[in-house]
Structure 1
């Protein structure tokens, strides 16, 4: 099988699956694949990467607010 890294959107292939899960959870048809705490970890990692690129330095996790 060949992998294709071309996407039809800047969001890649993961967002539609996530949104489907959210909709199905709101309908009572599924359980959340992730919770807010786990989502916050991803967001914190993205923020740390932006800070590191902007400031040209290492950024430790967890972030200190």
Structure 2
């Protein structure tokens, strides 16, 4: 298995990375927002058509 950061052979101690350095680089990417899942724009509930008999949108 290759290290996902530098492609060297992994070290069992730091698996799936080859070293603490590469593990720390990966952690910094996670903490800094470097990894993200693409998302589509949120749908505004006000733009949805009303369904007759649907009281779930009523606010008390």
TM-score (norm 1): 0.26
- As a proportion of its length, which structure holds more helix? 1
TM-score (norm 2): 0.27
